[in-house]
Amino acid sequence: MKQFLQACRYFFGYAFVFSFFINILQLTFSIYMLQVYDKVLTSYNLSTLTVITVGAVICLVVMALLEWIRSRLLVRAGIEFDNMLGEPVLHHNLSNATQPAGQPQQESQGTLRDVQLLRNFLGGNAVFAFFDLPWMPIYLIFIFILHPSLGWVAVLGGILVFILGLTTERLTRKRLEAATQLNVHAANFTGAAMRNASIVRSMGMVGNITSRWRKMNNIIINLQTQASKNAGLIHSISKALRVGLQVAIYAVGAYLTVMHESTAGVMIAASIIMGRSLAPIDQAMATYKQSLEAKTAYKRLDKLLTMQPTSQPMELPAPKGNLTAENLYFVVGNRQLIKNISFHLPAGASLAIIGPSAAGKSTLCKLLLNIWTPSAGKTRIDGADIMSWDAERLGPYIGYLPQDVELFSGTVAENIARLGEVDSQKVIRAAQIAGVHPMILALPKGYDTPIGELGTALSGGQRQRIGLARALYGDPKLIVLDEPNSNLDEAGDACLIQAILNLKQLGSTVVLVTHKPNILSIVDNIILMQDGQIALSGSRDDVLNKLEALRQEQVRQAELARAQQESLNPSKQEVNSDEPQEADNANQ
C-alpha cells in the first residue's frame, strides 16, 4: 500500500498545504468580531466597518474556493486508489476464490468493497478532520496572543476532549470490528441461502435458515448496541464538556474584562476560536466509525498486496500440449484427496479418467490446470512447471469444462468468446467443432441471444454444450473436460464424441472425466482412480482388457459364491420339509 500512497502523495501534499490556508482563513469571523466590538462599536466609524466587511467577504470566498479544491483533490486521490488497487485486488480474489472449501484461507483478506470504502472515505467529510487536526495549534497560539489565561482554558479543553476521543476508541473498536466480521459472515450465509432458494423452499428449510440468521443478527445487534451505548455516553459527556468550556472561557473572559485586562471583543473571539480549534476532534469522533472501517480496510489491503508477487514470470513459448503430472499430492485438512499421481501425456493424445464417485477425478483436473495448488508435486506443460506460466498468457491455450457449468450474463457469442472481443469466425468455428452450431442457430436470436443471469434462459444440456464451445474457443492446445456428457442426451453425446475426434485431428491434448463407457472407445489412454490414487493406467485396450478380466473374475467369484450357497440350501430345505411330516405323525 505504501507505493500507492507514494503515487498519490501529490494529492495529499497539496491538500495538506491548502488545509493550512483554510484553517488560517477560518479565523476570519473571529477577527471580524474582534474588530467590530473593539473598533467599530467604540469609534462608530462606518468606513472601518465597510473595509473589514469587504475583507471578510474576500477571505470567505477564497476559503470556499480552497475548500472546494481540497475536496476535489481528495476525491481524485480516491479515484486513483480505485484505479490502482481495483485490478490487483480483483485478480487476487478470483485466484483465492478457486481454493477448495476446506483449504486454509487468508483471513481478513482485502476485497473490492475495501477499495470502494477507501475511495468513499477519501471523498467524504471524515478525512477532513485528519487534515485539519495538525493545524489545531494555530488556534491555540492565537488565543494565547489574545490572553494567556484564555489560552490555558482552551488547551485544557482540548486535552479533555482528546482524552474522551481515546476513551471512545478503546470502548468501541473491538466490538465494532467483531460486529463487522459477523456481518460479513451473515451476508455470506444469506447469499448462499438465496443461491439455493429452490432447495431451501422445497425441503422446508426456510424456518431453519431464518432462525440461524436471527441468532447471528442478534449477536451483531448486541455488539453494535454496546458500542453505540458506550459511544453515546462519551458523546453526551463531550457535549456537556463543550458547553462547560464555553462557559469557562466566557467566565474567564468576563473576569479579565471586568479587571480591565481584556475586552469583550477578545472574550467573544476567544470563544469562537476555541470552538473552531476543537472542531477537528469533534468531527473525528463523529466520523469515528467510518475512520475505523477505513483503517481496517487499509490493513486488509496492505496484507493482501504484500502477498502479491512483485515480478511477472518470464514469457515462455506458446505451448504444444505436452502434459506431465509429477508425484501430485493434495491435502485438505486431514484428508489426503490425491496421493502420488504421476503420468505423461504427449501433445495430441487423449486420456479418459474413470473411477467411482469421490475418487479424486475432479480434484486431479483442477490440479492439472493450476486451479488448485498441489500440496506436493508439479504439473508441467511442455516441461515447464505450470506455476511458472503467466496465467493470462496461458489461458487462451487452455480449455476447461467443469462439472457445474455456469455462464455469464450476455449473449451466446460473448460467452463462447470468453467475454473478450467477439471474433465471429472463431466463435462459429468453436461452435462447429463442439457440434452446437445448429442448436445455437435455432435460438431466438442465434448467437446474439441473451442467456440471462447465470444462463438461466437455457436448459442444463444447452449450458453444457455452450460451455464446451467456450472451452474449445481459439483452438486450445490442452482441453480438460470434467464429465462433459452428464447433462447430454443421445444427440448431445454423439456431438461430444465427434468434437473429441475433431480435437484429436487438430492435435489438441484432451483429458476427460466420464462415467459413460461409450466415449471410452475414442480415447488413447485410460486412468482408473480409486481413493485418490491410480489403480490402473495404460493404453485404452490394455486398461479395458484388464477391467474386463476383473469383471469376469468378479462374475466367476459371484457364481461360485452362489453355487456354494445353493449347495447349502437343499439340506436346509430337507430339514424344513421333514419338520411338517414329523409334526403330522405326532398329531396322528
Q: What is the pLDDT of residues 71-110, one digit of tens each?
A: 888 888 888 877 877 777 777 777 666 666 545 444 445 6
Pair type for strands 376-381 and 384-385: antiparallel
DSSP 8-state secondary structure symbol assigned to residue 513: E
Q: What is the pLDDT of residues 169-219, one digit of tens each?
A: 777 777 877 887 788 788 878 877 887 777 777 778 888 888 888 888 888
Amino acid at 177: E
DSSP H or E run through 479 = strand 478-482
> From start to end of 261-411, where are the E strands?
323-332, 335-345, 350-354, 376-381, 384-385, 398-401
- Return d(Cα 370, Cα 365) in angstroms, integer: 9
Residue 547 has pLDDT above 80, yes or no: yes
The residue behind cell 473491538 is 174
Q: What is the mean pLDDT of residues 20-43?
A: 85
Beta-bridge mates of residue 537: 527
Question: CA nearest 230: which of 293, 274, 290, 172?
Answer: 172
- Return d(Cα 465, Cα 434) in angstroms, integer: 7
Residue 3 has pLDDT above 80, yes or no: no
- Return d(Cα 554, Cα 321) in angstroms, integer: 38
Residue 144 has pLDDT above 60, yes or no: yes
DSSP H or E run through 14 = helix 9-25
Long-range contacts of 180-184, Cβ-Cβ distance < 8 Å, separation of 24 or more: 180/293, 180/296, 181/108, 182/216, 182/219, 182/220, 182/223, 183/220
Write down the pLDDT at residue 588: 39
Q: Which three cell numbers stand for residue 403?
A: 462439472
Q: Which three cell numbers stand for residue 192?
A: 448462499
Residue 428 has pLDDT above 90, yes or no: yes
Write down the pLDDT at residue 299: 80
**CB distance 500 to 477 below 8 Å:** no
The set of residues, in sequence order, having a beta carbon less than 8 Å from that of 378 and lying 6+ positions away, is 325, 326, 327, 328, 385, 386, 387
Q: What is the mean pLDDT of residues 214-229?
A: 84
Amino acid at 447: Y
**Distance, CA of 8 to chain centre:** 24
pLDDT above 90 coverage of the chain, percent: 15
Write down the pLDDT at residue 579: 47
Q: Which three cell numbers stand for residue 373?
A: 495448488
Quickly list DSSP for 41-86. HHH--HHHHHHHHHHHHHHHHHHHHHHHHHHHHHHHHHHHHHHHHH
Q: What is the pLDDT of residues 404-425, one digit of tens each?
A: 888 888 889 999 998 888 889 9
Write down the pLDDT at residue 406: 83
**Lowest-pLDDT range of 309-323, 363-377, 386-400, 403-417:** 309-323
Write down the pLDDT at residue 112: 76
Write down the pLDDT at residue 437: 92
**CB distance 129 to 283 below 8 Å:** yes
Residue 271 has pLDDT above 60, yes or no: yes
Residue 258 has pLDDT above 80, yes or no: yes
The set of residues, in sequence order, having a beta carbon less than 8 Å from that of 217 and lying 6+ positions away, is 186
Write down the pLDDT at residue 237: 81
Beta-bridge mates of residue 482: 513
Q: What is the mean pLDDT of residues 249-257?
A: 87
Residue 582 pLDDT grade (very low, low, confident, very high; cuts 50, 70, 90) = very low
Residue 51 has pLDDT above 70, yes or no: yes
| Average pLDDT of the chain, as a whole number | 82
Count of helices and strands (H, E) across the chain: 21, 10
- Return d(Cα 153, Cα 507) in angstroms, integer: 86
Burial of 456 (0-12, 13-18, 19+ CB in 10 A): exposed
pLDDT above 70 coverage of the chain, percent: 91
